[in-house]
Amino acid sequence: MPNSDQARFDPVARLDHVNVIVRDMDRAAAFYSAVFTMTETLRKTLSGPWFEALLERSGASADCVILVDASKRLRIELLRFPDRTSAPDGPQAIGHFAVAVDDIAATRARALAAGGVAVGPVVTVPDSVLPRGKLMCYLRDPDGALFELAQYPQPLPSAV
């Protein structure tokens, strides 16, 4: 069992969210809301230099809905790419899981040293998209599975 110092310095704080790429946003939001008794907490279009850098695709844009259950422990991020040409595909597809960490640079470095592959840079999500913002990046594990690292301003929110 870890002592309190080990727990405090553990770089992986918690699972942050699960991302699902959808074709029909309203249908998907209604489905997950009904199945998991979730509430919509955010509905925005993601675009701009930060999003283009994240996806490594000029002109990238996606509609985003975030759903949270009553316990604030389950968060599902739905993304719909209105323009299929801006949607990542093949090895750049972005269905993923996300882990909130205390130090994104150190965790990213460990992932790369362990055989992970960076997918774009660490970017800052603007406050206009997410109050208080966050740092985030995508990586692939050695088998190609995509995951996100997210670093929030302290303390970590229970859910957005």
The predicted structure's pLDDT at residue 121: 94
Average per-residue pLDDT for the chain: 81
Residue 50: predicted pLDDT: 94
**Encoding tokens for residue 145?**
């599975």
pLDDT band of residue 90 (cuts 50, 70, 90) is low
CA distance 67 to 15: 15
Please state whether beta strands 38-47 and 61-69 pair in parallel, antiparallel, or not at all (unpaired): antiparallel
Provide the pLDDT for residue 5: 46
Q: Which of 4-13, 44-53, 114-123 has the lowest mean pLDDT?
A: 4-13
| pLDDT at res. 14 | 79
Q: Backbone dihedral region of 133: left (phi > 0), alpha (psi from -120 to 50 degrees) or beta?
A: left
pLDDT digits (tens, 9 = 90+) for 20-43: 888 889 988 987 888 678 899 999
Model pTM above 0.85: no
Using a pLDDT cut of 70, give the percent of the chain over it.
80
- Do 74 and 68 form a contact (C-beta atoms < 8 A)? yes
Q: How does pLDDT run across 106-156, given as a tens digit for each residue?
A: 889 988 998 889 999 999 999 898 888 899 999 888 767 788 889 998 765
Q: Give residue 9's pLDDT.
A: 47
The pLDDT assigned to 155 comes to 61
Which phi and psi angles does 144 have, rounded to 5°? 95, 0
Strand 146-151 relative to strand 75-80: parallel, antiparallel, unpaired?
Answer: unpaired
